[in-house]
Chains A and B, each alone.
Chain A
């Protein structure tokens, strides 16, 4: 009986979560307690273990905020603050979401366009494909602050520079996936269409586009996660007024650890929701075509 429960998936996940939270509280105690003790000794104050334990979870600027402190901060900045206020985390999340989505759309469009070009034109493949791959070995995020500054100098501020970074990060998985997908069309079907003397255009819209869809969705999931990273990093340069990245940066400047952690939680939540939405769309679309796997 017990060994069967241990083999269950939910048990493993639940026990891991409990384990992580437990470890978190332990580390919070150790790290914050250590700081507290140093503080006491500097001021020549007496301290007991119990007083340190009691205070370790309530420090204003802890080394590691306890989970309940982070959730507290999250609740305060999400529900107890007006959305239009700059203290509201929802306000910052929406800013990040906007540039993520815009960058994701641009990146997907660019990725599909390049993939279609590569599949249909041998010269384009030979000249472009090596650079598409090389583009990802370049740590583009390094350029992020510069793109923001440069485009700011031309008068482009706000959404667009950040989305360009997102676009650059998300086009690659889409291109690679689409090239694979467009080429994955069944050989027999291709030959059948050739016997019908279908032209490249008809071949694309009746066959290739559909054979590529499962691959496209797999890439979109990677792409949207990458777009979020791009948007957040794009907000790091000091020019950015809002967004989760700016929240991270200001939190790190002023030592507001709970603010960093709550922004981080929000980013994690946003990322998983976005990926979940894409996989939902994937399921609906592929089921309609009778392709749903599992």
Chain B
């Protein structure tokens, strides 16, 4: 009974503030500071609702799955509402911070421009660079696992590269490969190579001694050992690298575009629209980048789940 009351109160205060910030003329917090009292009401009731949902999610009831997902969603809703109402309530200049509603409408109003940018940056540069970088990192790692010499030389280099800001090579790549997507792909290749190399190598070497001995007693050939023992054991490490690289690649492409692009691309859009003070388009571009980043990360995580269902790390997760 009590929990229903809290949920109802939360819903009521949340809806009323949303209604106010969307309907009422901007500047309402300046005019009537009493409305600020809605914030503590929302925060306290939201905290209660979230802890209720968490407790329910931990109980393992049939609907627990959904309540576990809903907790971060409630959190995001509150952050979004705070943003929206603060910006319109205090009439924050549009240039400083546009409200989320404007960003979403800019997203839908500029779909063709954003799609062209997305195609240039993501479908051309990121995909090409990502595939080349990850594949070559993987191939070199499979060669290096057999050769002590290559490992001794390449692993310190990989460690060194992880300490230095590689995105700095962007201006050089732009100079060598031109303004179009090829230069961005080149930056991404360099950016993604070493994480993939180091992770694959660690994975291939992580096969435990007993399994190695077992394969030896079966008189397995090297190819068989590689495909049936080493590679499956390395897959979690490889997926980790793929996930890290998916973010790195997008960052690399956008940063490289700050150094020169044809008149299309997400990095180009951000830097020019900032100059023209069209903040809503800038934020919409960032929304696209965020969506692209999270969706590719999520897709990789799903792929990992589908291919590694047998692995201990995921079996444990499912049982929980």
Taking beta carbons and an 8 Å cutoff, which residues of A are in contact with B? 6-9, 11-13, 15-16, 31, 63-64, 122-123, 125-131, 134, 136-143, 145-146, 149-150, 153-154, 221-222, 225, 228-229, 232-233, 236-237, 244-245, 248-249, 251-252, 255, 257, 260-261, 263-264, 267-268, 271-272, 274-275
Contact = CB atoms under 8 A, between A and B. Distances in A.
Interface stretch (B32-40, B170-178, B209-217, B230-238): B170-178
A128 B54 CA distance: 12
Interface string B276-296: 000100100110011001101
B148 to A, nearest CB: 6
A7 B149 contact: yes
A131 B172 CA distance: 35
A126 B165 contact: no
A184 B298 CA distance: 27
Interface string B141-158: 000000011111110110
B270 A16 contact: no
A255 B163 CA distance: 27
A249 B257 CA distance: 12
B75 to A, nearest CB: 4
A26 B288 CA distance: 42
B163 A225 contact: yes
Nearest to B248: A139
Q: How large is the interface on B (under 10, 10 to 19, 20 to 34, 35 or more residues)?
A: 35 or more
21 contacts: A12-B150, A16-B153, A16-B154, A16-B157, A122-B54, A127-B75, A137-B298, A139-B254, A139-B293, A141-B167, A146-B270, A225-B163, A229-B167, A236-B258, A248-B170, A248-B171, A255-B175, A267-B165, A271-B163, A272-B163, A275-B163
The 4 closest A-B pairs by CB, nearest first: A12-B152, A252-B171, A12-B153, A16-B153
B260 interface: yes
A92 to B, nearest CB: 13
Interface stretch (B66-74, B108-116, B221-229, B310-318): B66-74
B270 A137 contact: no
B166 to A, nearest CB: 8
B274 A271 contact: no
